[in-house]
A and B are shown apart, each in its own frame.
Chain A
């Protein structure tokens, strides 16, 4: 079953249903499907949640996922992870589910469309100043743009934009290229070899989800912890002047 043909670069081009200016394309449909799966799974997992010795399998699974994500975040940010778990964990779970469900025939990964990855990267783009300002205050956050002096302001802004673009294109390119490679292989060597590539694609999908989450943490941590060193400097100076 082929929904997106080989010469269509993005699943946005396949329109399922349209009424007036509202069009439902394949990307939106499968994004909704993934959302329903995630919401239903988390409802199932948190339905009988308990802190006793005997917990359900779903709760075990969810606790493993959350503790892994929390461990990764706290290793990157060197402090509390609870503030960042909702964003980073959701990004990871959504991208991971999208990429892993590719193994189901007929499923088109929403992350193979540049619009999905661009909106995910925009979330990170907005989250970085949000966490930076809420942690350090507006003045200290903006001051980071003028470090070491004001000449570097355009370079900082360009860096922010470029890394958002890089996040977008990296995820999109990896998933889309995997689909195209399998499509081409099916026409060249249809027996067995595409199966190996599918297995490799699962690995790539999980790694890309991991990388997206890790890079988001790195960006947020750089906005949050840039000020920490400054505080330390000020404290040292104060102590020095007192002594």
Chain B
């Protein structure tokens, strides 16, 4: 197997693994954050506005972790820096 196909195989494999592992943690933590927020809103419906706003900000913070993983996997698949290097070296 030449270098190019090793890079291609590793990129696809790494992209899939990045999304798979990287979305587990944010999913669990977003679930528990929403659970707590719903419980809090059920207890204190008057505080709904500030709870919802804080929940959104917190969800955005957590979600950015999953987004980092997604961006990394997109870069690895579509804009891989090693790909160009090995094409240049091979050709």
Chain A positions near chain B (C-beta within 8 angstroms):
7-9, 72, 75, 166, 169-170, 172-174, 176-177, 180, 207, 210-211, 214-215, 218
Contacts and interface: CB of A to CB of B under 8 A. Distances in A.
B57 A174 contact: no
24 contacts: A7-B78, A8-B78, A9-B74, A9-B75, A9-B78, A75-B50, A75-B53, A166-B61, A169-B64, A169-B67, A169-B68, A169-B71, A170-B63, A170-B64, A173-B67, A173-B70, A174-B67, A176-B71, A176-B74, A177-B67, A177-B70, A210-B56, A211-B56, A214-B56
A169 B74 CA distance: 12
Interface of B: 49-50, 53, 56-57, 60-61, 63-64, 67-68, 70-71, 74-75, 78-79
Contact of B67 (A170, A210, A214, A218): A170
B68 A211 contact: no
Contacts of B68: 169, 173
Nearest to B67: A173
Contacts of A169: 64, 67-68, 71
Q: Which of B64, B70, B78 has the most CB of A within 10 A?
A: B64
Contacts of A215: 57, 60
A163 to B, nearest CB: 10
B interface SS class: helix
Given A8-B78, A170-B63, A218 B71 contact: no
Nearest to A72: B53
Nearest to A207: B56
Contacts of A7: 78
Contacts of B74: 9, 176-177, 180
Contacts of B49: 75
Nearest to B69: A173
Nearest to A166: B64
B21 to A, nearest CB: 17
B16 to A, nearest CB: 14
Contacts of A173: 64, 67-68, 70-71
Contacts of A211: 56-57, 60
Given A9-B75, A9-B78, A214 B53 contact: yes
Contacts of A177: 67, 70, 74
B29 to A, nearest CB: 16
